[in-house]
Amino acid sequence: MVQERKIISVPLSRETALSLYAGDRVLIDGNLYTGRDAAHRKMFDSLGKGDPLPFDIEGQIIYYVGPSPAPPGKIIGSAGPTTSGRMDPFTPALLDLGLRGMIGKGYRSEKVIRSMVRNGAVYFGAVGGAAALIARSIIQAEVVAWPELGPEAVFRLKVRSFPAIVVIDAFGNDVYRTGPPVYRAGRDGGES
């Protein structure tokens, strides 16, 4: 049976984050902010100096992406996720400031997961091989900070029906850890 997708909006409330469970398929509407390694380093440095972040992080979702340049007539180029673990050293501080979600691919550290549980935040997975398809859900894109970083600048992406999967929920349940044994049991005839 195919699970229905839940439609969620950003900013994401703590209550909405707590209503999502690992494995849920979602469609996201609203504004996402982008950030990869260089942008996270700049955010972290700004916080260390007592400077404000370039956007209000409360209830927001950061998409770990460095979009490619927009081809003629398009809003954005390919916009597939990057490996999330590279942002792990910076993530707990952002979660403590009210970041409610992240979108990327790959595992997260135990420190990040504990911070997610403490702050009621969610980690979403996006499919890397579907970068062109994902780009279709982006209806507006603008640089909001550090344009000198090129594709690694912080963008505000207005999205409609952005497809994602809850990989780690606000309770610490992690599909990357629980999913493979379930899949293997089904593939090997353990479940029908």
pLDDT in tens, 13-32: 999 999 999 999 999 999 99
Nearest to 33 by CA among 98, 120, 110: 98
Contact 110, 116 (CB under 8 A): no
3-class SS of residue 62: strand
Q: What is the pLDDT of residue 77?
A: 86
Has residue 192 been placed in a domain? no
**CA separation for the pair 166, 57 (Å, rounded):** 20
pLDDT band at 113 (very low <50, low <70, confident <90, very high): very high
Distance of CA 115 to the CA centre of its chain: 15
Range with the lowest mean pLDDT among 73-82, 100-109, 147-156?
Answer: 73-82
Has residue 13 been placed in a domain? yes
- The amino acid sitting at 118 is R
- State how many domains the chain has: 1
How many CB atoms sit inside 10 A of residue 150's CB?
A: 11
pLDDT in tens, 35-55: 999 999 999 999 999 999 999
What is the residue range of 67's domain? Answer: 6-187
Contact 18, 120 (CB under 8 A): yes
**CA separation for the pair 72, 104 (Å, rounded):** 27
Has residue 63 been placed in a domain? yes
Distance of CA 107 to the CA centre of its chain: 12
Place of tokens 């603008």: 142
**CA separation for the pair 47, 78 (Å, rounded):** 30
Has residue 1 been placed in a domain? no
Report the CATH number at residue 68: 3.20.130.10
Cα atoms in the Cβ-side hemisphere of radius 13 Å centred on 23: 10
Has residue 105 been placed in a domain? yes
Contact 1, 48 (CB under 8 A): no
pLDDT in tens, 96-106: 999 999 999 99
